[in-house]
Amino acid sequence: GAVVSQHPSRVICKSGTSVKIECRSLDFQATTMFWYRQFPKQSLMLMATSNEGSKATYEQGVEKDKFLINHASLTLSTLTVTSAHPEDSSFYICSARDQTGNTEAFFGQGTRLTVV
Amino acid sequence: AQSVAQPEDQVKVAEGNPLTVKCTYSVSGNPYLFWYVQYPNRGLQFLLKYITGDNLVKGSYGFEAEFNKSQTSFHLKKPSALVSDSALYFCAVRDLRSGAGSYQLTFGKGTKLSVIP
């Protein structure tokens, strides 16, 4: 299957700083990628849909100025958590769909963000 | 709106015994259904999908799932559980909201499977 690489896998940052998470489709082109947040022992919550070359579509309740998404190429989307606070600590996961026709989505390894 | 229900937070089964992880769904049209597995601190791995055709779908690692339209269910099964199957399992349905290139999944809350040696 297609491979989605997410980096970093773990990051610890201080309150008030910004953190960038990268999501790359390694062997396919993805015009659309998705960013999820997962709280402990809970399901995935869709944060936003990242569209190559255009603005991301954010789900209700997600602050677009806090969670900046850039999808500058067909293989890379980034999520930047700005002015991070401890409550932003979570597991963030990206996914992408192979545009050649596969109907399942492929997921990155996830990023464990801890804000101290 | 689409939704997925996984009624069991946790399933425990002895190694070698058959396992079932339950999933029911609600969609406005025809469902695209998926099962994913998640190991600790990892992303989701695709197991299998139902799009159309045969109601019994076979996937990775010996897992299979049966689509039942009348019961709106898509239960995950395996004839003989392994300790290494212990993980968190998510059922998902494709969100049919429109949008160029969009492909949004709605996930169940997940079921923790524990296989006891």
Tell me, what's the pLDDT at A101?
A: 60
A74: nearest Cα among A20, A7, A28: A28
Are A24 and A4 in contact by the 8 Å Cβ rule? The answer is yes
B61-108, pLDDT tens digit by residue?
999 999 999 999 999 999 999 999 999 999 999 865 544 445 678 899
Residue B65's CB is within 10 A of a number of other CB atoms, namely: 27
Strand partners, B34: B49, B92
- The Cα A89–Cα B8 span in angstroms is 27
- Residue B53 gets which letter from DSSP? S
Q: Do B104 and A108 touch (CB under 8 A)?
A: no
Strand A105-107 and strand A90-97: the pairing is antiparallel
A21-45 confidence digits (pLDDT tens): 999 999 888 888 999 999 887 888 9
Parts of chain A with a pLDDT under 70 = 1, 100-102
Which residues lie closer than 8 Å to B99 by C-beta, 6 or more apart? A49, A57
d(CA B109, CA A50): 23
B109 near A CB under 8 A: yes
User: For B36-59, what is the mean pLDDT?
Assistant: 91
Is the pLDDT at B19 greater than 70? The verdict is yes
Give contacts of B45 with chain A, Cβ < 8 Å: 107
More confident residue, A100 or B18: B18
CB contact under 8 A, A107 and B36: yes
